A and B are shown apart, each in its own frame.
Chain A
Amino acid sequence: MSETAHLVLEDGTTFTGRAFGAEVEATGEVVFTTAMTGYQEALTDPSFAGQILMMTYPLQGNYGVSDFDIESNRVQVRGFVVRESCDMPSHWRSTGTLHEYLASAGIPAIEGIDTRALTRKIRSAGVMMGAITQEEPETAIAKLREAQRYDGTDFVSEVTAPEPFSWDDPERKQYNIAVLDLGVKHNILRILRGLGSKTTVVPSMTSAKDILALKPDGIVMSPGPGDPALLDYAVATAKELVGKVPIFGICLGHQVLARMWGAKSYKLKFGHRGANHPVRDEATGRVTITAQNHGYAIDPDGLPSELEVSHVHLNDGTCEGLRHRELPILTIQYHSEASPGPRDDRYLFERFLGLVEEVRKP
């Protein structure tokens, strides 16, 4: 377990630490999140597909892993980087260690490196491709230059559900919600169910016609990984849905809707990933702390006048949400479903279901 491993970056930077998890190699875009808790939720978040995730909080695995903390059916990251992985976790419901969990998922990880130095590197140079390897760093870097690029890859098609499925709570059911799965997190379904919805999750390639055939009261366009510019098919689907039912676009779903209205997307230098991002709701002036995980953003210039920016990121002023002046559509760039992260923005699900309710009223 204490085999030496390297994390190499495409610019030649090498960090040497100890391997844990699966004894395989991985390449991916190296990103960091500043969330201090919720490593298992992050590992299973489809939005991290294609990426090697580094946690800036140094101690990970403290409370082990459990079936309660998963956000999708598998570990989604390509690799995992921490300062220290805990081998003696403590939580009554823990069923194993982080190492065991990653090993059985076939995901390599590295610990013992100066993760703060790595963060500083990424924050100043921007995200870049990297690899976790036990080979000589030079070999790995050479191979890395040949590897498939994160930016040009459609990861949505890798993470979306192969078949539709439903979450239901027959006793509390009031709404029928369709979820276009671009990489949905279970907590979106959990919250909607908690608020009295039956959710039907459909694969990302599902046509608008098939979605509307479900007779949904509302549609959620889910978060997911990668560049929204690669998702013309989803943009086309969105175009046919708009105006027919209330829509809630979250993260990648927000970006797809914005693209449909003509906005351009662009890549952020090192993304927004963490649980401490302040966002101001322009309607109330109130700031909430949000969970975020996105590497691309939307430039709201060029949006038609029926749309207004409803939420703004306090740190860099980026667009964090849109509201349609006429149609029952709201979108947000961050993760109102949290998990991991603060629950300040749960109100958005209620706001969305409020729109659904209004539309259903004859």
Chain B
Amino acid sequence: MTDEGVADIVYIEPLTVDVVSRIIERERPDGLLPTLGGQTGLNLAVDLADAGVLDKFNVRLLGTPLEAIRKAEDRELFRQLLTDIGEPWPESEIVTSVEGAHEVVKRIGLPLVIRPAYTLGGTGGGIAKTRDELEEIVTSGLAASPISQVLLERSLLGWKEIEYEVMRDGADTCITICNMENFDPMGIHTGDSIVVAPSQTLTDKEYQMLRTASLKIIRALGIEGGCNVQLALAPRREVVDWDAPVGEGDPPYFVIEVNPRVSRSSALASKATGYPIARVAAKIAVGGRLDEIPNVVTQKTTAAFEPALDYVVVKIPRWPFDKFPLGERLLGTQMKATGEVMAIDRTFEAAIQKAVRSLEQGGRSLLWEDPVWKTEELQKVKWAATDDRLWRLMAALRRNADPLDLAKKTGVDPWFIQKLARIVAMELRLLEEQLSPELLRDAKRMGFSDEQIGVLADELPERVRQRRLEMGIKPVYKMVDTCAAEFDAATPYFYSTYEEENEAPPVEGKKALVIGSGPIRIGQGIEFDYCSVHAVWALQEAGYRALIVNSNPETVSTDFDTSDRLYFEPLDEESVRDILDNETSESDDTPPPTIVQFGGQTAINLASPLHLAGMPILGSSAEAIDMAEDRRRFEEFLAKLGIPQPPGAAVTSVEDALKTAALIDYPVLVRPSYVLGGRAMEIVQNAEELKHYAAEAAEASRGHPILIDKYLEGREIEVDAVCDGEQVLIPGIMEHIERAGVHSGDSMAVYPPINLTDVEVNAIVDYTQRIGLAMNISGLMNIQYVIVPAGEASEVYVLEVNPRSSRTVPFISKVTNVPMVRLAAQVMLGRSLDAQGYAGGLQPQQKLVAVKAPAFSMSKLSGVDTYLGPEMKSTGEAMGVDKTFVPALAKALVSAELALPPQGAVLVSIADRYKEEAEPIIKRFAEAGFRLYATEGTAAMIEGLGLPVEQVTKRLREGHPNVVDVIRDGTVDGVINIPEGRMTGTLRDGFHFRRAAAEHRIPCFTSLDTARAVVDAQLAGDQAYTIQPLSAYLN
């Protein structure tokens, strides 16, 4: 979105009132469209209006009137509005203090739902069943709410949760795009719920009653554009007469919440129906009417209609608990998922099984069971909502649990549980019966993968595939057309199913399939969708028809008008091969080539199976990819080139691990091979820790070896490059602010580098070029280096080579103005860099300075340690650009919510090992005017420096104020906590106050390098930002 060309003028600047005011002053726009940028955009618009900026510059708020935003967002006003139009809302009270909350309990009783006002994804909310829980959640909720307000409401646990996506135009035409039913009942954030579209268990009367309520609400708010209405439906209450006056007895439903803007659910509804909600909302905002806006799907009708679905859509959230095994997995009103997958099929069973495959959790299907369940009695399983409840339900059904009993215990509608029971019944048939064509066909129609069938029927998956193809059992592809086939539509948007008629004959002409990147998860974010989309455009520019496959509804790549054909499918071997088979025309019998470089590790992992299946791959060969990813081959490769690498080895046993570590000496960096995002990667200080790690790593690495490397605590450098076999183009070099050991995805990165000598730059360029050529890279690669002092000079080591696009490709492309993905895609199609007008080597440096900072979701993930190490934890990133380093850094910090206020106090706690290094940094904080609070040892050190310091104890049971107190009561504005490392006392000690900082939403720095950068930015003071379009910064 921040690419030049997406809009007429693009600014990459912090989303603050101050900055946006300056942009408005500069550009003098006629209108401001605040409803498409989520809660952030909406809040900013309100703030701009409150600050008088909109009035001053005569900017009209488009789409949703300010009044409507206030009415929808402010609980009190919203309740009044609902009362005025006769819509029922659950009894509730707004409080601004814990004491107030206790008063409410006296009236409404417990359990209560706590919802803070004006927060993203319900941050800081929860359900309290006891007074202690109430106190805790209300406190964090008040802190999370920018207006220090929380709502306590009657708990509707067990009610059905239903959502409607509604649109309205200036002529008061109102339509619903889609309704959605949550598999999980009320009480679980809809972002954390499995969701189906359309609703499955609602009668027409229920459906229409809630639809009518939703339309009434959008009318009452006067929204011109899109809006999302969440409702709770009583599972057992009669809805016969639609005119039943509300107010007598308990109503059959309650209105829960309204988002007066397009939301995450709108994106899902768009993909689920094919109706482009955001596009239509934008047109309405500038005065378009629904009956005038053409329906781009049918190209015959208009946008004024309601999509009819003839398939089932299932969305499953993607949670980060594979990365955070110690995180609290209980789901509630606070969203924890980082992403989601969607699947489409003609039955619920097939759709949910495809969605599970799309999650990409280590090949986990619905057959997966946690080994500990085998030893537990399933009767005793707690049915609280957790991320793995779906699998628990399956496990219980396999052990003959009664579906109705499970429904009662979980609040999940029996309809869903019965469907799961049908899947279990099919598992049993596959276990017991001969694999006849009928059985195989029935299993495929229920969404069983070849691999699942193989496991159950004791066959190799490849053999299952061969057999079914011999029997003529292959998927057909049906169109998502918004109209259930009533009209001849033109959307190239398809899903697979096992039925008769195929609507997707092979695309004609030169074509290639781009593999997308699947659900957004830690380590594989939206950056890879950026790359996939750019690859599609590059293919089209080169005269190819671009096909894309992806499973993520939140992406641009799954917009039906991005590619020439979209397959909404899981990104696994089976579905990609089926797609390639479908795209192979009978006449020439050659499958189209596949591009695996842009979809992150998901796509690159498909290189080898596709290659083995004889499918052509564009760009770097499966061989080159294997060379980079196989530890032993890679080591030999670098040795041959004479390029240094930290010593290490790949091992498969604990004994070998200990032997290797002893040889190369501690500390060592350990990780499983073949994974992305530094999963389960750690720095290990001694043999004891190593033994512990090796045992844990077994699960994560699934048979692949564990890699052990010497940990070099140096400066980390990252390079992305395009290679065409002749030349290697390096747009720029990025230097990390944090030393090696903090995952590159969690580090701040600076372009151009600020501390590199010419010798070091030359070494990096030389190594990059030689590696690219020798590895025979065709397309993109990413290399990470570490530089460690060696006597007077320094030595550059290669940490890793990724033969694919990386997280930093969008960043470096934007700041260097080198269209990396386009160049790489063209290279893969055979056009050299030279022919594209680009020379090899390091490109001339831009005058700007750009800083990339990680963004975290730590406040939402209780139980997760925020300490940064080699395991990636961030869920997003922000970028700051300016003419010089300090303002660029300051912008990045502000955007990533890592900035400290200009004045205030910080809490400091530093392990002995780092105290000396910390001294100058602490001095600078004092110099910048910060009051210092410190734990016992650190306080002594600070006193030794002659600086005033307030000592607070880190022993939580030994008096007050302790470290957590000063965070909770707002005494300190930030925390600097530098622990020693894993499993040492300092890491454990700090956990509570790092969590407290996360929950109180104040920055907590766990690397001295970050702290140094922050204080530098702070000391540079209120140095004025430059505010100008991105293009103005470029040479």
Chain A interface residues (CB < 8 Å from chain B) = 15, 32, 34-38, 41, 56-59, 62-63, 68-69, 83-84, 86, 88-93, 113-117, 119-120, 123-124, 190, 194, 270, 274-278, 280, 285-289, 314-315, 338-344
Contact = CB atoms under 8 A, between A and B. Distances in A.
Contact of B201 (A38, A68, A90): A90
29 contacts: A35-B204, A37-B204, A56-B486, A57-B308, A57-B309, A57-B484, A59-B200, A62-B201, A63-B203, A83-B347, A88-B414, A89-B415, A90-B418, A93-B238, A119-B310, A120-B501, A123-B485, A124-B488, A274-B308, A276-B305, A280-B291, A285-B171, A286-B172, A287-B173, A287-B291, A315-B305, A340-B204, A341-B204, A342-B211
Nearest to B209: A343
B208 A342 contact: yes
Contacts of A343: 208, 211-212, 242
B301 A314 contact: yes
A189 to B, nearest CB: 12
B290 interface: yes
Given A69-B205, A194-B243, A123 B487 contact: yes
A37 B415 contact: no
Contacts of A68: 203, 205, 238, 240
Given A123-B485, A274-B308, A116 B478 contact: yes
Interface in B276-304: 290-291, 300-302, 304
A277 B305 contact: yes
Contact of B485 (A63, A93, A119): A119
A315 B201 contact: no
B501 A287 contact: no
Interface string B40-78: 000000000000000000000000000000000000000
B486 A34 contact: yes
B261 interface: no
Contact of A287 (B290, B307, B478): B290
Contacts of B207: 36-38
Given A41-B204, A289-B175, A343-B242, A276 B418 contact: no
A116 B243 CA distance: 36
B414 A116 contact: no
Contacts of A63: 201-203, 415
A58 B205 contact: no
Contact of B312 (A59, A190, A280): A59
Contacts of B348: 59
Contact of A59 (B171, B202, B347): B347
Contacts of A190: 241
B414 A90 contact: yes
Given A58-B347, A285-B171, A287-B291, A34 B215 contact: no
B444 to A, nearest CB: 14
Contacts of B203: 37-38, 63, 68-69, 91
A114 B499 contact: yes
B291 A314 contact: yes
B310 A88 contact: no
Contact of A58 (B290, B311, B483): B311
Interface residues of B, number: 60
A89 B418 CA distance: 9
B235 interface: yes
Contacts of B236: 92
B500 interface: yes
Nearest to B242: A343
B198 interface: yes
Interface string B488-510: 10000000000111010000000
A44 to B, nearest CB: 12
B310 A289 contact: no
B489 to A, nearest CB: 11
Nearest to B202: A37
A109 to B, nearest CB: 17
A286 B483 contact: no
Contacts of A274: 308, 484, 486
Nearest to B310: A56
A37 B179 CA distance: 12
A124 B501 CA distance: 15
A315 B346 contact: no
Nearest to B239: A68
Given A58-B311, A190-B241, A344 B346 contact: no
B306 interface: yes
B87 interface: no
Given A34-B484, A117-B499, A314-B304, A69 B204 contact: yes
B292 to A, nearest CB: 10
Contact of B486 (A59, A115, A119): A119
Contacts of B311: 58
A58 B312 contact: yes
Contact of A38 (B199, B204, B212, B305): B204
B302 A314 contact: yes
Given A37-B203, A37-B207, 9 more contacts: A34-B310, A35-B204, A56-B310, A59-B347, A86-B415, A113-B500, A270-B486, A287-B175, A315-B301
Given A123-B485, A278-B291, A34 B201 contact: no
A58 B176 CA distance: 20
Nearest to B498: A114
B413 interface: yes
A343 B500 CA distance: 36
Nearest to B445: A112
Nearest to B241: A194
A88 B204 contact: no
B310 A90 contact: no
Contacts of A114: 499-501
Determine which residue in B205, B347, B484, B501 has the highest number of CB atoms from chain A within 10 A of its CB, and name it.
B484
B357 to A, nearest CB: 20
Nearest to B414: A90
Interface in B448-490: 478, 483-488
A305 to B, nearest CB: 27
B308 A276 contact: yes
Nearest to A69: B203
B662 to A, nearest CB: 61
A181 B418 CA distance: 42
Contacts of A34: 308, 310, 483-484, 486
Nearest to A187: B242
A84 B239 CA distance: 26
A344 B300 CA distance: 24
A86 B422 CA distance: 11
A194 B291 CA distance: 32
A261 B141 CA distance: 67
Contacts of A119: 310, 484-486
Contacts of A270: 486
Contacts of A36: 198, 207, 308-309
Contacts of A86: 415
B413 A278 contact: no
Contacts of A288: 173
Contacts of B242: 343
A120 B485 contact: yes
Contacts of A344: 174, 215
Given A36-B198, A63-B201, A340-B204, A56 B308 contact: yes
Contacts of B176: 289
A111 B290 CA distance: 37
A59 B351 CA distance: 12
Contacts of A276: 305-308
B273 to A, nearest CB: 11
Interface in B303-330: 304-312
A74 B588 CA distance: 57
B165 to A, nearest CB: 14
A91 B308 CA distance: 23
Contacts of A89: 415
Nearest to A195: B243
Contacts of B302: 278, 314-315
A89 B419 CA distance: 10
Contacts of A286: 171-173
